[in-house]
Chain A
Amino acid sequence: QVRLVQSGPEVKKPGTSVKVSCKGSDYTFTRYDISWVRQAPGQGLEWMGWISTSNGDRNFAQSLQGRITLTIDTSASTAYMELRSLSSDDTAVYFCARRNPHLEGPDNYFYHALDVWGQGTTVIVSS
C-alpha cells in the first residue's frame, strides 16, 4: 500500500528550528516529487514548497524563503522539511504529499495533483 509516514509531534521554543521527516513506501520514490503543506489550527491549507526527488530541484513559498530547507535521502526514500526561526505563527500541522504528474485527464493530457498524503506532524511553538 502506497504510504507516506511522517515523524512524530514536536514542541519547540520560539527562535529554534524543527525538522520533519516523510518516508515513502511501496512505490518508486524518485518518480514523484514531494510537496509540503501546512495547516494552522482552524485554518486552511498553505502550500510551503516542493522538491524534486529525481534531481533535487525545489521551490518555496515566498513567505517562507530563507527559513525553509527541503532535502531528500533517496537511499532511505525519505524527504525532510526544516523550518528555522520558529514563531507562534508556525504552530500548525505539517503534511507531506506525493505530487503525481502521471494523472491522465479527459483530453489525454497528463495532470498533476497531490494524491498520497502523510498523516501530518503537529508542531507547536511555545515558550
Chain B
Amino acid sequence: DIQMTQSPSSLSASVGDRVSIACRASQTIHNYLVWYQQKPGKAPKLLIYAASTLQSGVPSRFSGSGSGTHFTLTIDGLQPDDFATYYCQQTYSSPPVTFGPGTKVEI
C-alpha cells in the first residue's frame, strides 16, 4: 500500500500569510494527488486534483505543485475562511485509496 505523510501536522498563521503544506508519498504516484479541505463538523471539500488543477469554484489563492513523491499545497494570502484541516490523497494505486493524516491550519 502507498503511505501518505504530511507536514507539519499543524501550523499557526495569520490572515494574509502565505502558507505551504507538504505531502509525501511512499512511492511515486506521478501526479495522482488530490487535496481536500475540511472544516469542523463538515464533510471534506475537493480543492485540487491532478496535483495542480484547481477544482471549479475554488479561489485562485490555492495552488498545488509537485509530482512523483513530493507535493505542496500553497495558500497565498490566507483568509479567515481558510482555517481548516487539509488532507492529501493519492489516487494512483487503488485499492486502497490512502489519505494523509491531515494538517490543521489555525489562527
The chain A residues found within 8 Å of chain B, CB to CB, are 35, 37, 44-47, 49-50, 59-62, 95, 97, 103-107, 109, 111-115, 117-120
Contacts and interface: CB of A to CB of B under 8 A. Distances in A.
A35 B89 CA distance: 13
5 contacts: A35-B97, A50-B97, A62-B95, A111-B50, A120-B42
Contacts of B38: 45
Interface stretch (B15-23, B74-82, B98-106): B98-106
Contacts, number: 78
Interface string B27-42: 0000110101010001
B96 A113 contact: no
Interface of B: 31-32, 34, 36, 38, 42-46, 49-50, 52-53, 55, 87, 89, 91, 94-102
Given A49-B95, A118-B43, A44 B87 contact: yes
The 4 closest A-B pairs by CB, nearest first: A105-B50, A117-B43, A113-B49, A59-B95
Given A103-B50, A105-B31, A105-B49, A114 B94 contact: no
A44 B102 contact: yes
Contacts of B94: 50, 59
Contacts of A112: 49, 91
Contacts of B53: 103-106, 111
A37 to B, nearest CB: 8
A111 B96 contact: no
A36 to B, nearest CB: 11
B43 A47 contact: no
Given A105-B31, A111-B91, A113-B34, A47 B45 contact: no
Contact of A45 (B42, B50, B87): B87
Contacts of A49: 95
A45 B4 CA distance: 12
Contact of B96 (A47, A106, A120): A47
Contacts of B89: 45, 113-114
